[in-house]
């Protein structure tokens, strides 16, 4: 598969009519999954960053609030995934132009910087929310389909944003980052694993004290050390919350 990007900007619209289901790129022109099937090289990422999504009614776009905008997005994504596209990012409802640009820019910056799909999407959502706040739901509009650990194999990942540079303000944020970390370990060579081990050690040493016995965190740390092959460290973190109160059963299953 050729590692390429295919992006449609937020100036076009996606619609479904009795005869067409896809993206409007002209007065009578539609881009559907059929056009993608005819490409000689299937793109790794398809990003449909369209500003409107809904049903066509009387020649006009339907009100996205009264339709089921996510349904068309999901159906397009399913067809693209079945073709062999690794990642599909598609707007589930109307998005703001400025916010959509921020989301796309941040997503690509982090993917091209060596981040995994899951981490890049999370950072893109955060950046988009920071400019729009609660009144602009663009940050949550994007449906993402693909492997959370997806990365561009040709990107030099020797100097990505290191885990120790992150400041975690919520337990869920740290948990998701550790899950992403475990994905990075898979397929890493010895040199990369050594670097990841140093990062993980530093992170573990700087976890907020109140989080150090939280099963959600210690289990992810145990899994990360286990993926790296440092089983004594893994056991230490798996066992850390085993004192009263009674730990969740899923922690015991990791030992």
Q: Tell which residue, 132, 128, 20, 143, has the closest CA to residue 92.
A: 143
pTM of the full structure: 0.54
Question: For 103-118, what is the mean pLDDT?
Answer: 86
Band (186; pLDDT cuts 50, 70, 90): confident
| pLDDT at 184 (0 to 100) | 77
Nearest to 47 by CA among 122, 139, 143, 112: 143
Q: What is the pLDDT of residues 63-96, one digit of tens each?
A: 444 445 455 556 677 777 887 888 889 887 878 8
**Model pLDDT, residue 181:** 79
Mean of pLDDT over the chain: 73
Which residues lie closer than 8 Å to 148 by C-beta, 6 or more apart? 116, 117, 118, 179, 180, 183
As a whole number, mean pLDDT of residues 154-177 equals 62
The CA-atom distances, in angstroms, between 167 and each of 40, 74, 81, 102, 177 are: 43, 34, 34, 21, 11
Whether residue 7 is predicted with pLDDT greater than 80 in this model: the reply is: no
- The whole-number average pLDDT for the span 91-108 is 87
Residue 223: predicted pLDDT: 92
Q: Is it the case that residue 156 has pLDDT exceeding 80? A: no
Nearest to 102 by CA among 45, 64, 141: 141
Mean pLDDT of 184-207: 84
pLDDT at 205: 87
Q: Which CATH number is associated with domain 1-152?
A: 3.40.50.1460
Q: How confident is the model at residue 3 (pLDDT cuts 50, 70, 90)?
A: very low
Domain with CATH 3.40.50.1460 in the chain: 1-152
Q: Which residues pair with 187 in a beta bridge?
A: none
């Amino acid at each position: 598969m050729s590692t390429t990007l295919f992006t449609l900007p937020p100036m076009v619209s996606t619609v479904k009519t009795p005869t067409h289901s896809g993206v409007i790129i002209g007065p009578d022109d539609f881009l559907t999954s059929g056009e993608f099937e005819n490409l000689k090289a299937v793109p790794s990422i398809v990003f449909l960053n369209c500003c409107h999504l809904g049903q066509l009614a009387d020649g006009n776009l339907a009100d996205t609030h009264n339709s089921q905008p996510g349904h068309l997005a999901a159906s397009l994504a399913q067809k693209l995934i079945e073709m062999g596209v690794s990642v599909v990012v598609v707007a589930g409802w109307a998005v703001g132009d400025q916010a959509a640009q921020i989301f796309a820019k941040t997503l690509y910056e982090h993917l091209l910087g060596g981040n995994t799909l899951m981490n890049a999407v999370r950072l893109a959502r955060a950046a988009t929310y920071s400019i729009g706040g609660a009144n602009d739901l663009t940050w949550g509009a994007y449906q993402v389909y693909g492997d959370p650990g997806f990365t561009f194999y040709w990107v030099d990942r020797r100097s990505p944003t290191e885990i120790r540079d992150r400041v975690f303000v919520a337990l869920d944020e740290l948990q998701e980052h550790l899950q992403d970390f475990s994905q990075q370990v898979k397929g890493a060579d010895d040199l990369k694993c050594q670097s990841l081990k140093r990062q993980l050690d530093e992170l573990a040493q700087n976890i907020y004290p109140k989080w150090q016995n939280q099963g959600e965190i210690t289990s992810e740390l145990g899994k990360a050390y286990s993926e790296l092959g440092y089983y004594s460290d893994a056991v230490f973190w798996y066992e850390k919350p085993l004192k009263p109160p009674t730990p969740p059963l899923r922690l015991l299953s990791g030992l």
